[in-house]
């Protein structure tokens, strides 16, 4: 029978290795591969450490009966191999390549993190994690059968509670701490992208007269620039606050809702590690807002539902960090990683469209909300 997985290139395995994965997947001693194929998985978000996403499927004889299988294959690589790396100025390239933790995800799937997650959270089981060369690796993961539901306030609160438990769970935090200096990588992000890419745009007079910006951000211009001027102080204040385990990108896209059991399947561990407490709330709240998938006017109600639920999750794992410190860390993280870059900087080179005007307006509302949150926690 045919086997065509050529689209995988060097990420492919032998038929015998694939058959062993199939057997492992079904909990059988062996499997006989009948047919297999691979195709590129469509995905609409560029990720600088992702070299490819694929579906691999087929059929095999397992315990004498034909069984269908589907695996998700992901290639991860150094930032230096991303097409976007060409936009990095030559003098910053060595630093940029070393500051993006592309090895985080292979480390997560090679570890026992899945066994440490609090009840209600799980992660895809890795059938194989293999280094391709010194700057890339491939992950062979079980396919997650999941729903694509509307995210209600109750669902957001449930996710926030579980991310609070994730943050404070002693066994998860132990592994996060051993993963490396996630805080230092975040510092590098601020000192790199924010200071060298975002701040020059904010300080450019032409930015504020751009059609996507003019008249929408006038009331946030002065406070944004004031925070930009004290960027180093904000970083130091944030990093002086308590730390916890953090996923690093806990948006709804990365919290899959499994079809046949409660809770969430947490995916994409590229930025996970020890992070400022409350860090995961930022992407949970803003992950759908900044791309324009959810109105920014939902932020107050999302915050009201998610923050107390996150605190309850911390407390369920025995974490007694004062609420005021968690909220301040949460506010500063949102400011550094979303607020200061709220303007649609990545779209300023494009011809304005109705959709871009809409997204810009949503971000302007989000910027006001973020600045208010920072002021409230001062």
CATH code (residue 354): 3.90.1200
Asked which of 77-86, 260-269, 343-352 is least confident by mean pLDDT, the reply is 77-86
- Mean pLDDT for 107-111 is 95
Which of 97, 132, 167 lies at the terminal end of a domain, its last residue? 132
**pLDDT more than 70, % of the chain:** 97
pLDDT of 80 reads 84
In this structure, the dihedral spanned by the alpha carbons of residues 272, 277, 279 and 281, taken in order and rounded to 10 degrees, is 120
Closest to 284 (Cα-Cα) out of 358, 334, 340: 334
**pLDDT more than 90, % of the chain:** 78
pLDDT of 83 reads 80
Residue 150 is given by DSSP the state -
- Per-residue pLDDT of 298-344, as tens digits, reads 999 999 999 999 999 999 999 999 999 999 999 999 999 899 999 99
Alpha carbon distance 94, 199 (integer Å): 21
Q: In terms of domains, do 117 and 258 share one?
A: no
pLDDT of 48 reads 83
Q: Regarding predicted confidence, which is higher, 110 or 197?
A: 110
Q: Regarding predicted confidence, which is higher, 132 or 48?
A: 132
Q: In terms of domains, do 370 and 222 share one?
A: yes
Number of domains forming the structure of the chain = 2
- The answer to whether position 91 is within a domain reads yes
Asked which of 99-103, 104-108, 177-181, 247-251 is least confident by mean pLDDT, the reply is 177-181
- pLDDT of 358 > 80? The answer is yes
Cβ pair 266, 248 in contact under 8 A: no
How does the average pLDDT of the chain come out, rounded?
Answer: 92
- Mean pLDDT for 124-153 is 95
- Per-residue pLDDT of 9-57, as tens digits, reads 999 999 999 999 999 999 999 999 999 999 999 887 777 889 999 999 9
Alpha carbon distance 178, 36 (integer Å): 38
- Mean pLDDT for 144-152 is 92
- pLDDT of 99 > 90? The answer is no
- pLDDT of 114 > 60? The answer is yes
- Mean pLDDT for 98-111 is 88
Q: What angle do CA 151, 175, 96 make, to 5 degrees?
A: 80
Q: In terms of domains, do 14 and 71 share one?
A: yes
Cβ pair 201, 207 in contact under 8 A: yes
- The answer to whether position 141 is within a domain reads no
**pTM to 2 decimal places:** 0.92
Task: For tokens 């300023």, name the residue.
Answer: 348
Which of 80, 100, 132 lies at the terminal end of a domain, its last residue? 132
Q: Which residues have a Cβ under 8 Å from the Cβ of 66 and sit 6 or more positions away?
A: 34, 59, 60
Alpha carbon distance 98, 55 (integer Å): 30
pLDDT of 183 reads 67
Strands (E), 159-258: 243-246, 255-258
- The answer to whether position 140 is within a domain reads no
- The answer to whether position 139 is within a domain reads no
pLDDT of 333 reads 93
- The answer to whether position 292 is within a domain reads yes
Q: In terms of domains, do 234 and 290 share one?
A: yes
**At 59, is the secondary structure helix, strand, or coil?**
strand
- Per-residue pLDDT of 166-209, as tens digits, reads 999 999 999 998 876 666 667 777 877 788 889 999 999 999 99
Q: In terms of domains, do 117 and 180 share one?
A: no
Q: In terms of domains, do 186 and 278 share one?
A: yes
Q: Which residues have a Cβ under 8 Å from the Cβ of 279 and sit 6 or more positions away?
A: 244, 246, 248, 329, 330, 333
Alpha carbon distance 1, 314 (integer Å): 53
Q: In terms of domains, do 204 and 352 share one?
A: yes
pLDDT of 181 reads 61
pLDDT of 290 reads 86
- The answer to whether position 96 is within a domain reads yes
pLDDT of 189 reads 76
Q: In terms of domains, do 103 and 195 share one?
A: no
Q: In terms of domains, do 113 and 210 share one?
A: no
Which residues span the domain enclosing 17?
Answer: 3-132
- Per-residue pLDDT of 252-301, as tens digits, reads 999 999 998 899 999 999 889 999 999 999 999 998 998 888 999 999 99
Cβ pair 303, 159 in contact under 8 A: no
Alpha carbon distance 196, 215 (integer Å): 25
Q: In terms of domains, do 298 and 159 share one?
A: yes
| Number of C-beta neighbours around residue 375 at 10 A | 10
Tokens at 55, concatenated: 């579906």
Alpha carbon distance 341, 277 (integer Å): 21
- pLDDT of 1 > 70? The answer is no
pLDDT of 221 reads 96
Q: In terms of domains, do 159 and 58 share one?
A: no
Q: In terms of domains, do 109 and 151 share one?
A: no
Which of 78, 105, 132 lies at the terminal end of a domain, its last residue? 132
Residue 355's pLDDT band (cuts 50, 70, 90): very high
- The answer to whether position 59 is within a domain reads yes
- Per-residue pLDDT of 87-98, as tens digits, reads 677 776 776 777
pLDDT of 31 reads 96
pLDDT of 303 reads 96
């Amino acid at each position: 029978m045919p086997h065509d997985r050529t689209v995988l290139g060097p990420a492919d395995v032998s038929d015998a290795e694939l058959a062993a994965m199939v057997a492992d997947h079904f909990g059988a001693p062996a499997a006989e591969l009948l047919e297999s194929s691979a195709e590129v998985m469509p995905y609409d978000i560029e990720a600088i450490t992702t070299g490819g996403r694929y579906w691999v499927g087929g059929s095999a004889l397992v315990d004498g009966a034909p069984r269908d299988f589907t695996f998700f294959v992901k290639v991860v690589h150094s930032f230096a191999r991303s097409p976007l790396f060409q936009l990095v100025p030559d003098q910053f390239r060595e630093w940029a390549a070393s500051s993006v933790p592309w090895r985080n995800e292979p480390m997560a799937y090679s570890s026992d993190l899945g066994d440490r997650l609090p009840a209600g959270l799980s992660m895809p089981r890795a059938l194989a994690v293999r280094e391709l060369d010194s700057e890339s690796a491939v992950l062979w993961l079980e396919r997650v059968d999941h729903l694509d539901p509307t995210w209600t306030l109750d669902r957001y609160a449930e996710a926030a509670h579980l991310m609070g438990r994730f943050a404070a769970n002693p066994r998860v935090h132990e592994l996060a701490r051993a993963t490396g200096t996630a805080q230092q990588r975040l510092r590098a992000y601020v000192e790199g992208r924010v200071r060298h890419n975002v701040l020059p745009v904010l300080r450019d007079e032409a930015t504020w007269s751009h059609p996507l910006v003019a008249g929408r951000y006038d009331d946030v211009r002065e406070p944004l620039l004031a925070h930009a001027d004290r960027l180093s102080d904000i970083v130091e204040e944030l990093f002086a606050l308590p730390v916890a385990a953090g996923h690093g990108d806990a948006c709804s896209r990365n919290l899959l809702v499994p079809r046949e059991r409660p809770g969430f399947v947490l995916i994409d561990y590229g930025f996970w590690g020890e992070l400022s407490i409350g860090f995961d709330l930022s992407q949970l709240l803003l992950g759908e807002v900044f791309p324009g998938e959810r109105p920014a006017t939902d932020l107050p109600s999302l915050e009201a539902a998610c923050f107390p639920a996150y605190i309850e999750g911390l407390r369920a794992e025995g974490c007694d960090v004062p609420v005021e410190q968690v909220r301040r860390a949460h506010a500063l993280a949102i400011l550094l990683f979303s607020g200061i870059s709220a303007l649609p900087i990545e779209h300023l080179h494009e011809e304005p469209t109705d959709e871009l005007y809409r997204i810009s307006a949503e971000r302007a509302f989000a910027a006001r909300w973020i600045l208010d949150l920072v002021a409230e926690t001062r």
